Structures are given as C-alpha cells and as structure tokens.
Structure 1
Amino acid sequence: MRVLRPRSLSSLLVAGLLLLTVPLAVAMVQAALQLGRLAQDTTRLVRQGVELAGQTQALSRHLAAYERSTNLYLLLEDPRVLEASRSIRQQIATTTEQLARLPLDREGLAHLEQLRSAVSDSLRSLETGEPADPGRAAMLADRLAAIDEAAREVADHANTLLEVRLQNLEERSAETRRNLLLWLAALVPVALVLGLIFTLGVMRPLRRVDRAITELGRGTFSRPIAISGPSDIEAVGKQLEWLRVRLLELAQEKNRFLRHMSHELKTPLANIREGTDLLLDGAVGAIEPEQREVTDIMRTNALRLQQLIENLLSYSAWQSSVAGLEVGAFPLEAELAASFRAQKLALASRGIRTKAEVEHIMVAADRAKIRLVLDNLLSNAVKFTPEGGTITVRARRLGAEVVIELADTGPGIPPEDRDRIFEAFYTGRMPQTGHLKGSGIGLSIVAEFVTAHGGRVELVEGEFRGAHFRVTIPIQAGEQVREAIRAYA
C-alpha cells in the first residue's frame, strides 16, 4: 500500500525510533505511577504509625497518672486531688478522640469506647462514693483493672493493625514488582518484533540495491532493476536502472564492434596465411632456410592471430545470446585428447611434458563449448609453461558432477591478478613468453561457458607451483543449463 510506505529513509528511521521508544516510555510511565502510589502509601503508613505510637504512649502516661491520682484520692480524700483526676480524665478523652480520628477499624473504635466508659465510670465512683464505704476501694480497683485491660486492648489492636497494614504494603510492593516484570516481559517481545519490522523495512530495499549493484558489477545487464521502498531508495533504484540500460547499450555496441572488426580482420589474415602456405610449399619457387624460418614465424603468428579472432567472435556471439547451448552426450576424455593433439606441435617444440589422470566419463553438455573451454585452458597453460615444464590434467567424477583440473609449472598467477583473471579483456601484469600478447578473453570465455552449464571455475592454490584451474560441471547439464539461461535472461 502506497499510503503506508515511508516517504524517505530518514522518516523510516524516525518512525523506527518512535516504535522502539514508545513501548519503553509506556513502561517507564507505568512504573513511575505505580512506584509513586507505593511511595505515597508508604509515607502515609509511616506517618500514621508514628502518630498512633505517639498517641498510644500519651494514653499510657495519662492512664498511669489517672491511676496514681485515684489511689491518692482514696488515701487523702483531698478535693484538689479529685480535681486533678478530672483534669487527667479530660486529657484521656482528648487523646482517645485523636486516636479515633486515625484510620482505625470498628474493633479499634470499640476498644476506645470501652476505655472512655471505664474511665468515666471510675471517676463517677470517686465523685459519688462515701469515704467510709468499705467496698469503695475494691470497686475502684476493679474499675482501674478494667481501664488497664481496655488500654492494653487498644495498644495491642493498634500494633496488630499496623502490622496488617505493613504486610499489605509489602504485598502491594511485591505485586508492583511482579507487574513491572510482566510489563517488561510483554514489552521486550513487542520491542523485538517492532525492531525486526523496522530492520526489514530498512534492510530489504538496501539488499535489493546491493544485489542490483552486484549484478551490474558481474556484467549482468539483462534484468531490469526495480526497487520499491522509501522515495530516496527508489531514486537510487531509478539511477541504477538508468546505469544498467546505459551499460547494456555500451556492451551491445562493444559486441557489434568486435563482430565487425573480427570479420574485417579475417579476410586479410586469410590472405596472409595463404601466402605463407604458398611460400612454404615452394609454389613460387625455392626459398632459403633463413627465409623459410621467417615465413614459418609469420605463419605461426598468423595462426595465433586467427585463434584470437575466433575467440573474439565466440565471445561476441556468446554475449549476444546465451541460450544457444546444444546439449548432447559425449565422452569427456575424447575432447581432452583432441585438445592435446591440437597443441602437439607447441608442446613438442618446447619440450613440455604432459601428465594425464583421466577417467572415462560420459557427460551431457554443449560439446563445442566444452571443447573451447579445454582449448583455452590448455592454450593458457602452454603459453606460460617454461621449456621442459610439465602440464597436468585430471578428470574425475564426483557425485553428480565432473571435475576437470589443469595445472602447469609456470610462474603462476600473481596475487594482484587473481581476482580479475576471469574478467573480459584483462591481460594481467605477468609478461607472456609468446610473440603475441593475448586478448584477455580466453579465461573470460571459460568462465562464461562453464557458468552457462550450471558449473563453476576456480583458481586452486597450494598443490602445484604454477597456475591450477579447476572446472566443475554437472554430468547431466539439462536442468542446470535451463536455470543458468533463466539467470542470464
């Protein structure tokens, strides 16, 4: 949906940051609110506990003073002592009223009411009783005992109430911790999912850009480049598509130029070859040995130049159409033998030995193109192998594939050239031993034809002193060829 697509990569980054920070911000706000409420309740409970403890202690002091005043009045019958008892009773009433204003439950309020009633009853007994009454002291003692019992019940109930509320606060604290952990447990997967969505939203178009650039770097210009995503990424995709079209046009122009130039060169080259053949055959008269040597050099280089032109034509034809594979069954060792026979004179003239370890293998592939692969690899080995050197060829079956290896005892491939030896027209930095420098397309054709068969070619290091190439192709190349053609198309 276009409306949901970010307008730019920067807006996508901002949206991703918001998606990641919003859940964390919600969790932080929720934690702050719960911790704030918990802190308020803790402060309130501490304040109430301090006030309750203070009022309880004050009540205990007043009750102790009231008991002393009552006992003193029983001994002295002094009205001033009775007045002091009334004053203490008023203090007790004030303290109990303050306790009643605290958040006590019904049971606590009932204990306070019992305490006030017991104090009032004892004071009335003092005020109305006769001094000579023998049961008066016993009755007041009972009243004071009731006051002590009521005071203990008030204090015990207050302590119990504080403990219950403290336990409730601890339970709420534990519940708050559990809730925070649950929030985190719920938000972490959400953040991960949002982060994954954000990463995919950013990386998917970037991977497409990277894949498009890689294909352009490999010379694959036939597949259109269409990249969807933020507007700036789409703009990059359009620029890459423009570059692809331009490179395709340049490649087509190059191929046309190669075809035209190759055809133009073939006619005068054929005349040169015919002339040298006539001279060597003595058709125009006998020639001196020195003249024959020069003529032979001319003929040899004409043949090599013809091979280069044939390579150019083959490369141009391959670049124009990769679907022209004619797959058929043939014995691989026959093509290897034919390639070595074609190089027999060059091998003999330079004293190059050959070592072959070839199994009997029937392959289904394009015979002409496999032959050209073998010719180019062997020609490359002959070119760089010094006189008296050795060229080793191996061919074996490995599962559903055939592995062909060709190695020489030449100087090898310099490290700075190894990444580019399969590029078209790259001739490297190593000086060649022949009279004519190569065109730099032999190994490129090898790589193109092997890839078209669904195989691969690689440079192997370590076993031989010189260059060591390994070609791996499927024995039954039908489906692999079709996949390779679809990849190029």
Structure 2
Amino acid sequence: MKFKKIISLKSLIILGFVIAVIPLFLGVMYAAFAMRETAILGRAINYQVFAQTKAIRLVLQKSSDVERKARLFILLSDPALRQPYERESYENTRSAFKQALSELLKLHVDNKIALLANELSEKENLIYQQIMGSAAGDNASVAVNEAFQGLRESSNTLSREFESHVDHEFNELRQQSEILEQGLLIKGAVLLVVSFIFIVLLLIVLSRSMRQLDAAIRRLGSTELAEPIVVSGPTDLRYLGERLEWLRTHLMELALSKRQFIHNVACEIKTPLQEISEGAQWLASDAEAQGDAMRQSMALVLCANIEKLHTVSEELARYSQINAMSAIQHPQTVNLKEVLEAVIMDYQEPIAAKSLSIKKLLRPVAMSGVQEQLRGIIGHLLANAVQYSPVNGEIRIMLREAGGQVELEIEDEGPGIAPEDRSRVFEPFFRGKGMLDDANEGAGLGLAIVKEYVANHQGCVDIIDPREDQQGARIQVRIPLKEL
C-alpha cells in the first residue's frame, strides 16, 4: 500500500525515462569497453606480429648470410688463398645470426616456431663443425652440401610456419571481434527487450487509468450516474478519479433534488388546479344558463388553459418518476415493430386531422427492454412529428437493426430544429426557435423524457441533418441490442 501511495504520474514518467535511458547507457558503456579491449588486443597482436616479423626476416637474412659466408669460406679453403680476415668475417656473421635467433626467442614466439628456430641453429652449428673439420683436412664436401640444403629447408619451414602463425593470430582476432559483436548485439537486444517490456507495462498502467477516466467523463456527460467511478493507477490519477466520484455524487444529489422539486411542484398544483377547474366549469355553466356569451367564452378559455396546466402537471409528475419507475421495471423481450405499429394506430386521429401520410420502412426487431419506456420513446417522437408537421405533410419512420444496434428514425416536414438548438432540445422545458408557436405549445418535457428512456437502455438520441431537399426535424435513436 505504501508503495502505491508514492507512485504518481510524475514519478512513473521519470522512472520510465530512467529505465529507457539506463539500458542505452549500459549498452554504450559496454560497447565502448568492448571496443577498447578489442583495440588493445589488436594493437598488442599487431605489435607482436610486427616485432616477430622483423625478427624472422632478420633471422632468415642472417641465415642466408651465414650460408654465403660459409660457402665462401669453403671456396677459400686453401690456406694460401684464404685471408686472415675471412674466418673472422665468418665468425662475425655467425654471431649476428645467433644474436638474431636470440632476439627472436625473446619475443615469446610460438613453441613450434621456437623449435624450428632451435633446429635452424643446430643445422648452422652442424655446418660450422663440418667446415671446421674440412679445414683441418677432412674431405666432407658432400656432407656440407647436404647441411646447406637442410639449412635452407629449415629457413623455408620457419618462414612458412611463421606465415601460418600470423594467419592464425589474425583469424583469432577476427573471431574474437565477431564473438564480441555477437555478444554486444545479444546484450543490446536483451536490454532493449527489458526496456520495451517496462515501457509497455507503464503504458498499460497509464492507458488503463486514462480509459477509466475517459469512461467516467463520458458517463458523467451522458448523465449515467448510477455506476461509481473508480480509477486505479498513479496517485494523481486516482485523485482525479476521486474528484470525479465526488462530482458524480454531487450531480446525483442535484438531479434528485431537481426531480424531487418537480414532483413536489406537480403534486402541489394538482389539487388547486382541480378546484380551479371545477370553479371554471361552474362559471361556464352559470354563464350559459344566464345567456352571458362573453362570460361563457372567458370561462371556456380559462378551462382550456387549466387543462393545459393539468397536462403539464401530469408530465412533470411522470418526468420526476422516470428513474424511480426504471428501478422496479424489469426488461423483457419486445417486438419493436409491433410496438411502433400500435403507437401509430393510437395517433390515427391527429394524423387524419392534419391529413398526414406516414411512410414506413420497418424491419422486424426483437430486443430486451422495458416495453412501457420503449413505447414512450416512440410515442413522444411521433407526437412531436405530428404536432409540428404541416397539413398534408409526410412523416417518415425507419426501424432497422445495424451493427448490433436498433436504429429508429422519425422525420417530419415541419420547421425543423435550428443547429444551435440541437444540443439543448433534450433539456426540460427548453423551446427552440421552431417551437415558439402558441398553437403548438406543449409541456416541453417530451424530448427530455425520450432522452431519459433511451439512457435507461444505454442508448443515445440525436438530432441529425434532414435528407436532401428536406427541412424538417430528423431524430435518430440508437439502442444497443442485448442478449435475449
């Protein structure tokens, strides 16, 4: 719990940044370290190979010098022809050869190269011993020639072996570089996957909280206040959820107060209206009995207005009880086409009074809902269409199932609803520009009741643009189909 309390949106963003940057930093540091190690190793191998190559070349060169000096020494084997410095020159060349071999062995060459170098030294010693023996009077020219041949073969073998050794060293360096590259790629991929997983988890947490906030705001905007608002995630987003929950309860209290007020008003004016209505009827009867036509006409106008007030009172009482009645009414399977046909039959008298024609495009639709409320939706929309339609006008009704929803459209040829009034026509008692005619004056609650009934079925009702070459009101109701 303490851990959850300290996690905020700010801390998650900082943590996400750190988690995203640390693997990158580690990857760069590892790559720099690996490249440094590879560079050091490469420089060491290059220096070693260069030094050994120089030493090998010097050994091979001195080996050729020894052979040349030895042959010259043999050619001048006659003491009368041999100069004193010839032996000294030969000895100096041998010393240089020995020094070159010593320098080569100091470089910690491969064991096989060291063995070949020692073998080359032994063969040179053999040549020296044979030459010195022949100088003493022994005839060993054949053996000396074979020794020279062995010296050359040993030199060539040493040269080839060193070339093979160099190739081997560089191959190992290349393999180590490839292994390092593969390791770098693997570690980088692992770090990238770890960062990606953490970022995905962070996005899941944040997106879940944002979806919860979005759903809560949408429910508040559509006045769906029954479900509590709970937002999980960072502390600041949970705090926003708590404030939205406070707003929800406050809106519920306001809505309850408004409905209670409307209900109280409807109840309070019911009895006085009844008494006033009885008094107005008595005045009308008394005026008729006395033959006072003017007084009788005024009494009849009074009775008509009282009847309108009585209708408003009933609408107020019905509107205030919508949610209370919804709680006790249970959904059932409703054939919406049959309900619509029945409502149209109920309005045949006002339809015939205005000589209206009904154009229907109805598809059979069965859905789960409260039949009384579904009938009320159709009844109020049809009543408005009849009320605002001109004489000899046409009312178009469409009912169909589309995309898992029930779509109901009712369109008339009346004055229509101004675009600036579309967002408010579903408010109680609101009257738009096309509804201000006294002849068409009603309670002003029909569309508000329609909106409440549709919301109880998790649907929505909208004013949409009329069809081409039409100007009347076109109202669309969409209610999701539930499993029956």
- TM-score with structure 1 length normalisation? 0.82
Name the CA distance, whole Å, in 2 between partners of 1:13 and 1:415.
Answer: 43
Q: Does 1:337 align with 2:341?
A: no
Q: Tell me the residue number matched to 1:121.
A: 126
Q: Tell me the residue number matched to 2:167.
A: 163
Q: Tell me the residue number matched to 2:89.
A: 84
Name the CA distance, whole Å, in 2 between partners of 1:199 and 1:397.
Answer: 37
Q: Tell me the residue number matched to 2:62.
A: 62
Alpha-carbon deviations, 1:351-397, whole Å to 9, x = none? 54444566898987545433432331123223432344222335568
Deviation at 1:177, TM superposition (A): 2.7
Name the CA distance, whole Å, in 2 between partners of 1:399 and 1:27.
Answer: 51
Q: Does 1:181 align with 2:185?
A: yes
Q: Which moved more, 1:148-157 or 1:387-396?
A: 387-396
SS at match of 1:259: helix
8 Å contact kept, 1:69–1:82? no
Q: Tell me the residue number matched to 1:484.
A: none
SS at match of 1:172: helix
Name the CA distance, whole Å, in 2 between partners of 1:271 and 1:355.
Answer: 44
Q: 1:61 to 1:389 in 2, by over 3 A?
A: same
Q: Does 1:105 align with 2:110?
A: yes
Deviation at 1:160, TM superposition (A): 0.3
SS at match of 2:327: coil
8 Å contact kept, 2:388–2:440? no
Q: Gaps spanning 5+ residues in structure 2: where?
A: 77-81
Deviation at 1:5, TM superposition (A): 5.5
Tell me how many residue pairs correspond in the alignment: 473
Q: 1:49 to 1:445 in 2, by over 3 A?
A: same
Question: Where does 1:176-325 land on structure 2 (aligned, <5 Å)?
Answer: 176-270=180-274, 283=288, 285-286=290-291, 292=297, 302-325=306-329
SS at match of 1:50: helix
SS at match of 2:135: coil
Q: Tell me the residue number matched to 1:11.
A: 11
Q: Tell me the residue number matched to 2:413.
A: 409
Q: 1:205 to 1:405 in 2, by over 3 A?
A: closer
8 Å contact kept, 2:466–2:473? no
Name the CA distance, whole Å, in 2 between partners of 1:55 and 1:228.
Answer: 75
SS at match of 2:226: coil
Name the CA distance, whole Å, in 1 between partners of 2:371 and 2:300.
Answer: 32
What CA RMSD, in Å, does the superposition of the two structures yield over aligned residues?
3.7
Alpha-carbon deviations, 1:205-254, whole Å to 9, x = none? 23222222222222233333333333222322222222222222221211
Deviation at 1:302, TM superposition (A): 4.7
Alpha-carbon deviations, 1:387-446, whole Å to 9, x = none? 442223355688998764421012434444445544555544555434566665322311
Deviation at 1:283, TM superposition (A): 4.1
8 Å contact kept, 2:55–2:104? yes
Q: 1:5 to 1:175 in 2, by over 3 A?
A: farther
Alpha-carbon deviations, 1:112-169, whole Å to 9, x = none? 001112223323444454266543x444333332222211111111100111122222
Q: Tell me the residue number matched to 1:73.
A: 73
SS at match of 1:223: coil
Q: Which moved more, 1:461-470 or 1:42-51?
A: 461-470
Name the CA distance, whole Å, in 1 between partners of 2:7 and 2:330.
Answer: 49
Q: 1:240 to 1:7 in 2, by over 3 A?
A: same
Name the CA distance, whole Å, in 1 between partners of 2:289 and 2:330.
Answer: 44
Q: Does 1:372 align with 2:379?
A: no
Q: 1:114 to 1:334 in 2, by over 3 A?
A: closer
Q: Tell me the residue number matched to 2:453.
A: 449
Q: 1:240 to 1:468 in 2, by over 3 A?
A: same
Name the CA distance, whole Å, in 1 between partners of 2:125 and 2:404.
Answer: 111
Q: Which moved more, 1:295-304 or 1:207-216?
A: 295-304
Name the CA distance, whole Å, in 2 between partners of 1:106 and 1:168.
Answer: 17
Name the CA distance, whole Å, in 2 between partners of 1:84 and 1:110.
Answer: 28
Alpha-carbon deviations, 1:82-120, whole Å to 9, x = none? 212222222222222222233432211110001112223
Q: Tell me the residue number matched to 2:473.
A: 467
Q: Tell me the residue number matched to 1:42.
A: 42
Q: Which moved more, 1:325-334 or 1:170-179?
A: 325-334
Alpha-carbon deviations, 1:336-362, whole Å to 9, x = none? 135414635xx62x5544445668989
Structure 2 counterpart of 1:108, which letter? I
Q: Tell me the residue number matched to 1:148.
A: 152
Alpha-carbon deviations, 1:274-303, whole Å to 9, x = none? 5666677774555659985x7776655554
Q: Percent identity?
A: 26
Q: Tell me the residue number matched to 2:98.
A: 93
Name the CA distance, whole Å, in 2 between partners of 1:141 and 1:172.
Answer: 46
Q: 1:18 to 1:238 in 2, by over 3 A?
A: same
Q: Which moved more, 1:359-368 or 1:264-273?
A: 359-368
Name the CA distance, whole Å, in 1 between partners of 2:430 and 2:132.
Answer: 128
Q: Tell me the residue number matched to 2:79.
A: none
Name the CA distance, whole Å, in 2 between partners of 1:423 and 1:254.
Answer: 13
8 Å contact kept, 2:362–2:400? yes
Alpha-carbon deviations, 1:299-324, whole Å to 9, x = none? 55554444333332222111445313
Q: 1:335 to 1:101 in 2, by over 3 A?
A: same
SS at match of 2:228: coil
